Structure 1
Amino acid sequence: MNKKSLSERDICTKFIAPAFVAAGWDIQRQVREEVSFTKGRVIVRGKLHSRGKSRRADFILYHQPNLPLAVIEAKDNTHAVGDGMQQALDYAEALDVPFVFSSNGDGFLFHDRTGQAALTETELTLEQFPSPAELWQRYCAWKGFDAEDSQRVEAPYFDDGTGRMPRYYQMNAINRTVEAVARGQNRVLLVMATGTGKTYTAFQIIWRLWKSRQKKRILFLADRNILVDQTKNNDFKPFGAAMTKIAKRQIDTSYEIYLSLYQAVSGAEEEKNIYKQFSPDFFDLVVIDECHRGSAAEDSAWREILAYFSSATHIGLTATPKETKAVSSIHYFGEPVYSYSLKQGIADGFLAPYKVVRIDFDKDLQGWRPPAGMLDKNGQPIEDRIYNLKDMDRNLVLEARTQLVAEKITAFMKATDPFQKTIVFCDDIDHAERMRQALVNQNPQRVKENRKYVMRITGDEQEGKAELDNFINPEERYPVIATTSKLMTTGVDAQTCKLVVLDQHIKSMTEFKQIIGRGTRINEDYGKFWFTIMDFKKATELFADPAFDGEPVQVYEPKGEEPPEPPDDVPEQPEGGGPVDGDDTTPPSDVLEDPPGNGGGRIKYVVGNVPVFVMAERVQYYGPNGKLITESLRDYTRSCVSKQFGSLDAFLRRWSSAEQKKVIIEELASQGVLWEALAEEVEAKQGKPLDAFDLICHVAFDQPPLSRKERADQVKKRNYFAKYQGAARQVLEALLEKYADTGLEPIEDIKILQLDPFSRIGAPMELVQAFGGKAAYAKAVAELETQLYA
């Protein structure tokens, strides 16, 4: 057998797998082969999308299903034994595994990431592959586990029998948390971007600690009723009869898993502090959802609950740890044991990318000064000063501005999808109500079809709040547009939200992240892969702040050293001071939303006769580096292409030699070329539809472009089809027409033969046979492409 002629898969099957099986690894229980652990970044292509390449490990070895120990990267035998090491190390870093192997079938290069080995990298023969016991012993020594610790971390996941496993980053978060608890760490912080499954991760952590009896009684705290109910009915459902929700004055101590609202167990008056009916040592574990919120402040009533159960282990979950001079998540919980950011989530394809439509109005930028003695609509004399963006909808209401925002939202939805779920974030309840009215008037036909097309969903209004479940339910069409202020900033799992509108002053990075998180979930079943942000108040300038997607940095100043500065955050707690879940407990005043009409105690002038105009409108796109692209699309595209191809000749050579041109198109998309936006901009100036080839030649290399129709007409003039007869000729003519209509990629997919007009010519198999078989058909299509780009 000539090993050099074997494929990479053959090397895996004939040499690598037998080596670790001989070392004692159970191939059914401890080995996963060809593991795609990411989904591949979503690449938006007009109204369509594609995905970049997923990251795939050849082998992952496990101590048991919840504890990955090693990655093996295979190469065929034409490579050296260590040629796969750098790729394997990249995977190992993501997967949080300490042991890394590269192999070409002759032996292994072994890299020990623990730092405990005499040599970091050593070459091993096929017979020297380490046993499961050896690697587990090394792992425990690296983590500092004794026999009891190692037994604790071996506690299994919940298995629902469907084969569902946590995603790789969820597994990392679960394992790091369980290991921290096993080592006796009593405060643990997990930072995971919105939409990445924090609650499911929390469930698996609790399940493992509960089933192993490390933690026997657990309290899960949240500050919104919807968060508690969603958790109880969905991710936590397997706890069954062992679980209860605290909602009554008299508590029952016979359960093991307790879910509760902060507001349901605490209050300003001593008799409202229901949590004191439990003994201080009743709970072994307290899990705090959205821990950046009420419990983050040392002097809050909610922090008192954590102080009361101080003997328990406290695990904090958040997408946005809060770090100001007055409030610190890190000061309380310590540095995060694991972080998974929005940027990582988008790069891995688990979260949706976005584009930003930024719209600026003249009165926001230039300001407006009232004439002397002017009264507003309510007869109030308007203070004589210049009002600008910071005043809009807080101190000054320009009715024409509200109308213009509603017009721009409606125009965007009509041009894209009138039924895309949309959240409009406003400054207060009064603003949300005015925006609801403006949107109703902009969409009379839609509202006539269903009055719930536009709804205000705020904490003060029961009918709106009652529609929240319908809004977030993908199967419910209505409501389509929700105007809100604070109620929907967090904890709202709006999986199909495709448009997030910012007409709110946002100073808090924490709140900004939470709001952006409303759109980041992907729902493949309902075609939600990306979303749009419309910004009317410059809120998206926060994207440029390094803190947006960076690691949290502690800036907290403990009291007693210097007087802490008051936070400039807009209050981000839930709205409404009414009863919570049938309980008459009122939340602290800092959780209330501005009541309707009074702007939260501010003087608010309402002016109805001042015109407002759009001064600037621009679109920014999410780039592959996680930053918004702010340079011109032409410059950005030229830069992307030049990194890939040094010259026009290099591009032409690659294009001509590619068996399928869509490979180059997808490659450039993964490098950052925004085909949809580029085509939209260039075609608007050229007045004709261009394909990818002409877009690149024109934008990157200044060549005059031809439209798809012009290219198709040139092929017809050359009488290229003369050598084909019958059905074969009809198919090629139809492919040429398809190219002129829809572009290159559809004609490269053989499935096109199932569609009209091909289905009228004959069945797909008959059409392929008209060319003499599949290979001959592929050759004919390749020749057609050569003619198109001759």
Structure 2
Amino acid sequence: MNKKSLSERDICTKFITPALVKAGWNVHDQIREEVTFTAGRIIVRGRLHARGKKRRADYVLSYKKNLPIAVIEAKDNNHSLGDGMQQALAYGEALDAPFRISSNGDGFLFHDSTGLGGPVERELSLDEFPSPEELWARYRQYKGLDETARPTVEQPYYDDGSGRVPRYYQTVAINRAVEAVARGQDRILLVMATGTGKTFTAFQIIWRLWKSKHKRRILFLADRNILVDQTKNNDFKPFGQAMTKVTNRSIDKSFEIYLSLYQAVTGVEEEKNIYKEFSPDFFDLVVIDECHRGSAAADSSWRAILEYFSGATHLGLTATPKETNDVSNTDYFGEPVYTYSLKQGIEDGFLAPYKVVRIDLDRDLEGWRPTKGQVDKHGNEIEDRIYNQKDFDRTLVLEKRTPVVAAKITEFLERTDPYQKTIVFCENIDHAERMRQALVNLNPKRIAENYKYVMRITGDENEGKAELDNFINPEERYPVIATTSKLMTTGVDAQTCKLIVLDQRIQSMTEFKQIIGRGTRINDDYNKHWFTILDFKKATELFADPNFDGDPVQVYNPAEGASPVPEDEQGVEGGVGIAEDPAEYGADEGETWTNDDTGADDDAGDAKITKFYVDNVEVSVVAERVQYLDAQGDLITESLKDYTRKRVREQFASLDDFLRRWSGADRKQAIIDELAEAGVFWDDLIADVRKKLGDDPDPFDVICHIVFDQPPLTRKQRADQLRKTGYFDKYDGPARQVLDGLLTKYTDAGIEPVEDVKVLRLDPFRSMGSPIELIQAFGGKESYTDAVRHLEAALYHSAN
């Protein structure tokens, strides 16, 4: 047998798999081949989308179904033994598999990342591959898992046969948490971006600990009723009769899985602290959802619950670990055992990418100062100072500002999709109500269809809150637009939200991440694959902060205690001036909240006016620009043209190089797709050059003009130039008709349909004959393909 003539798949089938089986690996339970573990980054193309390359490991070896410990990257025998090692290293790191292996069928290059001594890499013959027991023993030693931990870590995850199994990063999070518990770690933190399935991950962790009897009674804590109900009715449903939701009425101690709101078991008065009806050692495990809130602060009344059950293992879940001078998740839980970030989720294709439309208003940039003695519309004299963005809609309302923002929102919706779910984040309840009114007045047609087209959903008003479920339900069209402040920042599973509007000054990184997370979910059934952020308050400048997608850095020092809240932090989450009803966050009576935003004037005697309303100051848009995520997940700050030049020149060193690659490509569309995957935003770029290149220019001309400074040509100009050359004179009859029709099709629709033989089923070709007859006019399919290729070559040569 000549190994050099075998394909990579043949090498796997004939050499690698038999070597694994001989070493004792089971092909049914322990060996998985061609394992695709990412979805492929979403590439947005106008209103359509495509997927980038998925990551696929040739082999993943698991001791048990849920315990991947080794990755093998295979190559054909024309490669060296170690040619697949760098891929294996990358895949092994992602999958948390410490043994990374490369093979070409002659043997194995074995990389051991456990650091337990011996060579890091060594060559093995096909007969020397380690057995499952040998690698599992080394894995357990690496992870610090003794014999007593085996029943816990070897317990499989829940599988109902529906095909829903943990994604690769969920598997890593589950395994790391279970292993930490099995080692005896009592405080554990998992950080997973919004939309990546924290609750499902928590369920699988609890399931394995519960089924292995390592933890018998578990408490799941959340601070919003919707979070508890969603959890109970969806991800936790398999617990069945073993599970109950705790109410503030009575305690039944016969269950094993308890779900509870903080508010349901605590109160200011001692007799309302129902949790004390349980003994301190009743629970073995307490899981704290959204642990950056609620009990995060050391002096929070809700922290008392955790302190009461301090003997249990505490597992914190959050997308946004909180690290301020007053609150520290890592001080309480320790460093995260695993972090899966928004950036990684977008790169893997599990989270939706976004673009930012930054809109600057003149008054926001320049500020505003009243004239001496000027009064507001209620006759209150306005304090003489310069008011700027941090004052607007908090201490001073420029009433003409809100309709300007609402008009830009309406303009965007009408230009894209007027029924896309939209959340408008405002400074406070009063601002959210004024924004609702402005949007209603700008959308009379939509309001006539259904008055719920725009709704204010805030914690102070029951009618709006009652529509929250309809807003997040993909099957319900209304409400379309929700104006809010704090209520929808977290815990709201808005799967089809495509537009997030920021008219709120955000200084808290935690709050910013939570708000952005409202748009990151993907829903294939409802064509939700990306979202847009309209930013009126410079909030998206936080994307440039290294902490946006980095690991949490502890700044809290318990020895120093809480520090004063800086002025800029007041009014944001964690500050002292949150202008919302306590119901917005579900706070109990024991929490410290302020509610200075009733929307009413303060006319009680000589009381200080806290908010001025000015109705005669004009406000206008002075700048608007679009920012995109590049292929690495970073927000592009340069112009789209400059960015395109940079990306294309990374692929093609010169115009000649580009022309050579373009001319030599069997399918021009393949190069267009390749550049899209590298980060070229075709639709937005084409929109940017439409005046010069026509409504739907050829991507070839877009690149030649923008990147290589060639004279602009429209598709029609390019086709007309080819016709003038007499190119078709060498053809006659049906063949000439077909080629002329293809050139017309290029003029109308671009190069993609020309390269697809199915175009012959469409007009004008249908009137010329059947596809088979038209192809035979060229002498067969190969000759037809050659003729199309020559047509393309002449088409692009004619103007260069």
Q: TM-score range by the shorter chain?
A: over 0.9
**Which amino acid in structure 2 is aligned with residue 637 of structure 1?**
T
Which residue matches 1:326? 326
Distance 1:734 1:226, change over 3 A: farther
For structure 2, the 5+ residue unaligned runs are none
Given that residues 354 and 531 in structure 2 are in contact (C-alpha distance below 8 angstroms), is that contact kept between their aligned partners in structure 1?
A: yes
Partners of 1:474 and 1:769 lie apart in 2 by 50
For structure 1, the 5+ residue unaligned runs are none
Deviations 1:423-479 (A, max 9, x none): 000000110000000001111001101111111111111111111111111111111
Given that residues 487 and 585 in structure 2 are in contact (C-alpha distance below 8 angstroms), is that contact kept between their aligned partners in structure 1?
A: no
Distance 1:742 1:222, change over 3 A: farther
Partners of 1:307 and 1:592 lie apart in 2 by 29
Aligned pair 1:588/2:591, yes or no?
A: yes
Map of 1:183-582 to 2, 5 A cutoff?
A: 183-559=183-559, 561=560, 564-566=563-565, 568=569, 570-572=571-573, 576-577=581-582
Given that residues 577 and 587 in structure 1 are in contact (C-alpha distance below 8 angstroms), is that contact kept between their aligned partners in structure 2?
A: no
Of 610, 614, 621, the residue aligned with 2:628 is 621
Distance 1:321 1:773, change over 3 A: farther
Distance 1:651 1:569, change over 3 A: farther
Which residue matches 1:605? 612
Shift of 1:753: 5.2
Shift of 1:589: 3.5
Output the aligned Cα RMSD: 2.4
Q: 3-state DSSP class of the match of 1:258? A: strand
Shift of 1:664: 1.7
Given that residues 755 and 788 in structure 2 are in contact (C-alpha distance below 8 angstroms), is that contact kept between their aligned partners in structure 1?
A: yes
Shift of 1:169: 0.5
Shift of 1:778: 3.7
Partners of 2:149 and 2:79 lie apart in 1 by 41
Shift of 1:671: 2.1
Deviations 1:54-85 (A, max 9, x none): 11111111111100011110111111010000
Given that residues 727 and 767 in structure 1 are in contact (C-alpha distance below 8 angstroms), is that contact kept between their aligned partners in structure 2?
A: yes
Partners of 1:763 and 1:295 lie apart in 2 by 72
**Which amino acid in structure 2 is aligned with residue 627 of structure 1?**
D
Partners of 1:239 and 1:751 lie apart in 2 by 52
Aligned pair 1:701/2:723, yes or no?
A: no
Which residue matches 2:667? 660
Which residue matches 1:717? 724
Aligned pair 1:690/2:697, yes or no?
A: yes
**Which amino acid in structure 1 is aligned with residue 319 of structure 2?**
A
Partners of 2:338 and 2:544 lie apart in 1 by 24
Deviations 1:266-309 (A, max 9, x none): 12221221111111111111100100012110000111110011
Partners of 2:629 and 2:673 lie apart in 1 by 17
Which residue matches 1:47? 47
Shift of 1:19: 1.2
**Which amino acid in structure 1 is aligned with residue 374 of structure 2?**
M
Given that residues 557 and 564 in structure 1 are in contact (C-alpha distance below 8 angstroms), is that contact kept between their aligned partners in structure 2?
A: no
Given that residues 221 and 287 in structure 1 are in contact (C-alpha distance below 8 angstroms), is that contact kept between their aligned partners in structure 2?
A: yes
Distance 1:755 1:591, change over 3 A: farther
Shift of 1:640: 1.3
Given that residues 505 and 537 in structure 2 are in contact (C-alpha distance below 8 angstroms), is that contact kept between their aligned partners in structure 1?
A: yes
Q: 3-state DSSP class of the match of 1:159? A: coil
Shift of 1:717: 3.4
Map of 1:146-157 to 2, 5 A cutoff?
A: 146-157=146-157
Aligned pair 1:174/2:174, yes or no?
A: yes
Worse overlay, 354-363 or 173-182: 354-363
Distance 1:723 1:32, change over 3 A: farther
Percent sequence identity over aligned pairs: 70
Distance 1:447 1:50, change over 3 A: same
Distance 1:183 1:665, change over 3 A: same
Worse overlay, 433-442 or 602-611: 602-611
Q: TM-score, normalised by structure 2?
A: 0.94
Shift of 1:637: 1.4
Shift of 1:772: 5.7
Shift of 1:723: 5.8
Which residue matches 1:643? 650
Distance 1:524 1:328, change over 3 A: same
**Which amino acid in structure 2 is aligned with residue 83 of structure 1?**
D
Partners of 1:320 and 1:762 lie apart in 2 by 63
Of 739, 747, 764, the residue aligned with 2:746 is 739
Aligned pair 1:634/2:637, yes or no?
A: no
Deviations 1:239-261 (A, max 9, x none): 11111111232111111111111
Partners of 2:737 and 2:418 lie apart in 1 by 39
Deviations 1:362-401 (A, max 9, x none): 1111111222222212222211222111111111111111
**Which amino acid in structure 2 is aligned with residue 590 of structure 1?**
W
Given that residues 363 and 619 in structure 2 are in contact (C-alpha distance below 8 angstroms), is that contact kept between their aligned partners in structure 1?
A: yes
Given that residues 459 and 584 in structure 2 are in contact (C-alpha distance below 8 angstroms), is that contact kept between their aligned partners in structure 1?
A: no
Partners of 1:774 and 1:64 lie apart in 2 by 51
Q: 3-state DSSP class of the match of 1:301? A: coil
Shift of 1:150: 2.0
Partners of 2:612 and 2:343 lie apart in 1 by 41
**Which amino acid in structure 1 is aligned with residue 591 of structure 2?**
P
Partners of 2:626 and 2:407 lie apart in 1 by 17
Given that residues 194 and 319 in structure 1 are in contact (C-alpha distance below 8 angstroms), is that contact kept between their aligned partners in structure 2?
A: yes
Shift of 1:764: 6.0
Q: 3-state DSSP class of the match of 1:252? A: coil
Which residue matches 1:27? 27
**Which amino acid in structure 2 is aligned with residue 665 of structure 1?**
I
Partners of 1:287 and 1:766 lie apart in 2 by 69
How many equivalent pairs are there? 787
Given that residues 83 and 102 in structure 2 are in contact (C-alpha distance below 8 angstroms), is that contact kept between their aligned partners in structure 1?
A: yes
Partners of 1:677 and 1:470 lie apart in 2 by 33
Partners of 1:607 and 1:272 lie apart in 2 by 46
Deviations 1:714-747 (A, max 9, x none): 3333454556667665554444333323322344
Distance 1:112 1:766, change over 3 A: farther
Q: 3-state DSSP class of the match of 1:738? A: helix
Aligned pair 1:142/2:145, yes or no?
A: no
Shift of 1:770: 6.0
Worse overlay, 648-657 or 83-92: 648-657
